[in-house]
Amino acid sequence: MSKEIILTVEKFRDGEENKFLIKSPKEIQLTLHAIAQKESVAILYFDNAQRFLKTILLAVTEIGIWLDVGPDESDNNLLLCSDTITFVTLHQGTKLQFVCHQIEMAIYASRPAFFIPLPDQMVRLQRREYFRLPVSVDAPLKCIIPVKHVESARQDEITILDISVGGIGLICKGQNVQLEAGESYPDCQIELPDIGTLFVTILVRNLFDVTPAGRVITRHAGCEFVGLDGQMSILLQRYVASMQSKLSGLR
């Protein structure tokens, strides 16, 4: 059961995945070859990620990947007709994911197989990197925007919706500073309970409005941490790991 939960398609805010990309064909080939040797399970998502098929890597070369076909012929046919397929698997506790737009039937070791070209890039995520921690209303976190970035003569505190080692999601209300997509905000502060104060630059990647039933519209901002130094990165990782541990203890 745990593998099925882990092997989901990881969604990123705009540009967030760039820091996790592998672009070396040799490294991609060797990584996938190691997975094939262990006969690890992979998931192929298709039909706008509404359907999926479990498979096993059979072989990997410099030109492509051979995968075991599924037991359901109708699913196999739908997969072959899909123009966007997302491959997800785990290797040594690391999540691997890539998108392909080309899949075809082939023969491997005298039996039917799927064949896809070797991807030109692949996302590699350590668990602590792709874990996005929702912030509890009982223990809220605030992102403090410096005075120079607001029109009033006060610091602006914006509620944090979620946090990861890559960035934060913010809930912006009417009285908050009007953040702008594509703009960076240096010298922000986030107080991490029992850990320390995080001093960061955030880059606003996207903004969208949310209207809960019967409630006022709020604006959510997806933000990326920019140029996080070693000390701040350690504080952040320590906080995420601590909260992960607490969440695990509640299950």
- Residue 236 burial (C-beta neighbours within 10 Å; 0-12, 13-18, 19+): buried
The pLDDT assigned to 251 comes to 44
For 112-148, the DSSP string reads EEEEEEPPS-EEEEEHHHH--EEPPTTS--EEEEPGG
Q: Name residue 171's beta-bridge partners.
A: 159, 220
66 touches 113 (CB < 8 A): yes
Residues 6+ apart with CB under 8 A from 115: 64, 65, 66, 67, 103, 104, 105, 106, 108
Res. 248: pLDDT tops 70 = no
The pLDDT assigned to 111 comes to 93
Read off the pLDDT band of 150 (50, 70, 90). Answer: very low
pLDDT tens digits along 132-141: 778 877 778 9
Average pLDDT, the chain: 83
Give me the CATH topology for the region 2-130. Pnp Oxidase; Chain A (2.30.110)
Domain locations along the chain: 2-130, 133-250
Could you give the 3-state DSSP secondary structure of residue 238? helix
Average pLDDT for 146-169: 74
The second-level CATH assignment, the architecture, of 133-250 is: Beta Barrel (2.40)
Average pLDDT for 171-179: 78
Residues 6+ apart with CB under 8 A from 193: 139
